Structure 1
Amino acid sequence: MTEDFTKFIEQMKHQRPVEWNHLPDFSLYMDQVLSYMERQLILGDGQDSLTAAMVNNYTKSGLVPRAEGKKYNREHIAYLTAVCVLKRVMATKDIDTVIRDELHQRNNVQAGYEEFCKSLDTAITTTTHEMESYADKGTLADSAIHFALLSYAASVATQYYVNQLGRQAGDVTDKK
């Protein structure tokens, strides 16, 4: 294993979004939110971090609640964390469907965020173990293809679940 690989694996093992109780319990301005979010996410080489324009777009589309004045609180950070992670693998409309259903089931942002972080931890831990076990099995291209295929399979499963959520929402609407 190379030094870069070892460093990346260590980042994957240890970097996670903070627990709800450790999110700021005071309001933040946009530049503080952007800085804070860099610590919430695992950003690999060449991945863009969150920008003010992105936050504004997420707010306009309803993915993230509007700021209170020009200040953001822990609920905003929770939403932004979920959106930033999910946007790497899901369409915006699907993120909206999933987040709304999750919050509806949990009845509050804190419980939804805690469940999201628990699932994210499991996914990252599983992927990290897979990376370590796959490290010496082939070339970088082989590894990239392997993980792309895992992503493809997970994407197919994700779309199935999102479609089921849509059908359930349609059933509820039809019954009214």
Structure 2
Amino acid sequence: MKKENISDIIENLNADQKIKLEDIPDLDLYMDQVIQLFESKLSSLKRKEEDKVLTKTMINNYAKAKLLMSIKNKKYSKEHLILMSLIYDLKGSLSISDIKVLLDNIVQKYENHEDYNLRELYKTYLETSNEDSKEFKTSVRNKEENLTNLLREHNIQGDFEENFLLICSMISMSNMYRRMGEALIDKFFIKGDK
């Protein structure tokens, strides 16, 4: 495995690509406009060209599952789009039921017409994600270097073995972070378990 290959992959991942607050108009959008916005801003994150970032069915399912606050006049507010962006980011690792638990407090505040500054929360989320992206890039480069040293110590040579172990390590780390996220949901967000 060549360092420039991993560096290219890291940069081409666009892992830090998010919908920013300024990308979302202040006026309400129809469903087709929402889908178009998500496709234009997040299409670089698709694994395959034919994949969809967001569909009408997804949006309808989010609304039915009460992951979003009520939709008025078939239009979606900036707050709806913020929640959809969060759902998009979370659904790669969490179940829809866990996402619902996370977002329920926010949705309920909006349904009850309580004052809640979702835009500031989202802005802070974006800043945190930016820091996470930097940490991720450094971590992958360090993981690659450590793996190369371990392979040398164990007298293992070959691109297959090196790539195989790097992939297994990435998936193992991903699983640990996902399980930690689930444990935090269970501890702090599931009602009755406090």
TM-score by length of 2: 0.72
- Which of 153, 173, 179 is residue 150 of structure 1 equivalent to? 173
- Which of 130, 139, 157 is residue 139 of structure 2 equivalent to? 130
Shift in alpha-carbon separation, 1:135–1:11, aligned structure 2, 3 A: same
Name the SS for the 2:192 alignment partner. Answer: helix
1:2, distance to aligned residue in structure 2 (A)? 8.4
Deviations 1:18-53 (A, max 9, x none): 432442112222222112113147624235421110
Matched, 1:164 2:187: yes
1:100, distance to aligned residue in structure 2 (A)? 3.0
Q: Which residue is equivalent to 2:79?
A: 75
Cα distance in structure 1, aligned partners of 2:118 and 2:140: 32
Cα distance in structure 2, aligned partners of 1:2 and 1:117: 29
Q: Which aligned pairs between 1:1-176 and structure 2 lie closer than 5 A?
A: 1=2, 6-12=7-13, 15-38=16-39, 39-40=41-42, 43-46=45-48, 48-101=52-105, 107-135=116-144, 137=148, 139-166=162-189, 169-170=191-192
Shift in alpha-carbon separation, 1:60–1:87, aligned structure 2, 3 A: same
1:30 and 1:70 in contact (8 A); partners too: yes
1:16, distance to aligned residue in structure 2 (A)? 2.8
The worse-fitting range, judged by mean Cα deviation, of 21-30 and 52-61 is: 21-30
TM-score by length of 1: 0.78
Output the amino acid matched with 2:75: K
Output the amino acid matched with 2:184: Y
Aligned CA-pair RMSD: 3.0
Shift in alpha-carbon separation, 1:155–1:99, aligned structure 2, 3 A: same
Shift in alpha-carbon separation, 1:144–1:14, aligned structure 2, 3 A: closer
Cα distance in structure 2, aligned partners of 1:4 and 1:62: 43
Deviations 1:39-83 (A, max 9, x none): 147624235421110111001101122332222221111000000
Shift in alpha-carbon separation, 1:140–1:171, aligned structure 2, 3 A: closer
Percent sequence identity over aligned pairs: 21
Shift in alpha-carbon separation, 1:123–1:144, aligned structure 2, 3 A: same
Cα distance in structure 1, aligned partners of 2:10 and 2:136: 10
Unaligned runs of 5+ in 1: none
Cα distance in structure 2, aligned partners of 1:119 and 1:91: 22
